[in-house]
Structure 1
Amino acid sequence: MKKILIYCSVLLLTSLSSFAQNEKSDHGHEGNPWYSNTATTKLNVSNEEWKKVLSPNLYAVAREKDTERAFTGKYWKSTTKGTYYCAVCGNLLFRSDAKFASSCGWPSFFEPSRKAAVRYQADDSVGDHRTEVLCGRCDSHLGHIFDDGPPPTHKRFCMNSVSLDFEPDSKK
């Protein structure tokens, strides 16, 4: 019985340690020389270089256009006030006052923080015409935009949580 308890404790600690490392690596920016919350200069970095500094999960979504599963991302139902940045390069993307509750399972916004924050590209990869949303600074995949959002824009920027970093507003 004692051996089983020790074994279970070791498994739990290993799992928690692995989870903590994955959480840190998805949103840590150590070793990423291109991450900046203030820079706006367009980046031209190869995927080989991005692969060296991004977590595998972030790389898959941001650079290989993967999609996180619906209702699993950490920001899809968050109501905390603050600012959303590109998790790859730190580019300012969205403010929480443009975020709205959507039943799609991903964080949804009706407009970016500024026009140059994002850029758009046609995406016919799933047999339907969609519009992909890319970071305006590093060209990382963020998600897609749809015409079923609320006023005033009637747009829904459907974003992957893993592609976003969030900084809550400071309390003054």
Structure 2
Amino acid sequence: MATPSKSKPAQSQLFQPDAAHLAYLINDATIWYATNVANERSEYHGGFVAGALFKFSPNSLTEMLALYATKIAEGYTASHHAPTHFAGPTGSYCSFVMTKPEAIRTVELKSVIAKAEQDYLAELEAERNMEVERQVELRFATEQRAAEAIRVKEEQQTKQRLRDEVLAALSGAK
């Protein structure tokens, strides 16, 4: 029969990364990245505009066609989103969505996954720190109550001793 090692206590499973939950978060981040349509005004996410799809908004139809040809040459591919062009009395609006090249998506997806892992570990650490503070407050309150109980008991004993002394002095004065 093997005996457990006494050199190291068993590690708590609280606030430890859960592989299944981390896999869920990574899958969720991967789906988010694959379906997110970024544009020039999108928020930067780890040094890039997040999303496997990118929406371009040139100023004219001519510029749209030229930009589309340039992006095809750079490795972008057409997406399922239909290009739009609206012309009106105050100007025109053009936009089209393309899928980023595979090399770019691979690098960005690695960054998205790393961020999901970092966020998860940071969340665990924050929860762990909150629990430590909660436990410290609980233990402190318990110690305070115990110290107060001891103080009250000592006070009662002191009063009883003084009471006994006073009674003894009064009884001896008869």
TM-score of Structure 1 vs Structure 2, range by shorter chain:
under 0.3
| Structure with the largest fraction of helix | 2
| Structure with the largest fraction of strand | 1
**Larger relative contact order (CA 8 Å, sep ≥ 6):** 1
TM-score of the superposed pair, with normalisation by structure 2: 0.24
User: Larger Rg: 1 or 2?
Assistant: 2
